[in-house]
């Protein structure tokens, strides 16, 4: 749930790669659920790529093109995971009670 006047960073980019934000207190609405589902997919993809990367790096016969493709996919996954972590960090900070 976003606190009043808090925006949620969404797990996708807008035009020209700019961040997209959502302003709502309704966590059960369509957009918050869509964002949650996309975040789950992004985290799952990152976990699968991490496993694949470990296997590929252990393979002494891996070719250069395969390594290049894997590095590109890992870069995208890391970008997605960083966006999810940033978004969730903002959500946690917004939900913490402020001490005076």
**Residue 62: pLDDT band by 50, 70, 90 thresholds?**
confident
- Max intra-chain CA distance, the chain: 60
Q: How many CA atoms lie within 13 Å of 19's alpha carbon, on the beta-carbon side?
A: 13
What's the pLDDT at 2? Answer: 43
Answer whether residue 3 shows pLDDT above 50: no
Average pLDDT over all residues of the chain: 84
Q: What helix, strand, coil percent values describe the chain, rounded to 5?
A: 65, 10, 25
């Amino acid at each position: 749930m976003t606190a009043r006047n808090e925006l949620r960073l969404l797990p996708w980019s807008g035009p020209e790669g700019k961040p997209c934000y959502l302003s709502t207190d309704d966590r059960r609405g369509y957009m918050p659920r869509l964002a949650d589902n996309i975040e789950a997919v992004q985290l799952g993809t990152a976990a699968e790529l991490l496993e694949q990367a470990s296997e590929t790096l252990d393979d002494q016969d891996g070719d250069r093109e395969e390594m290049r493709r894997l590095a590109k996919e890992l870069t995208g996954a890391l970008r997605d995971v960083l966006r999810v972590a940033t978004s969730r960090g903002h959500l946690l900070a917004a939900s913490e009670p402020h001490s005076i």
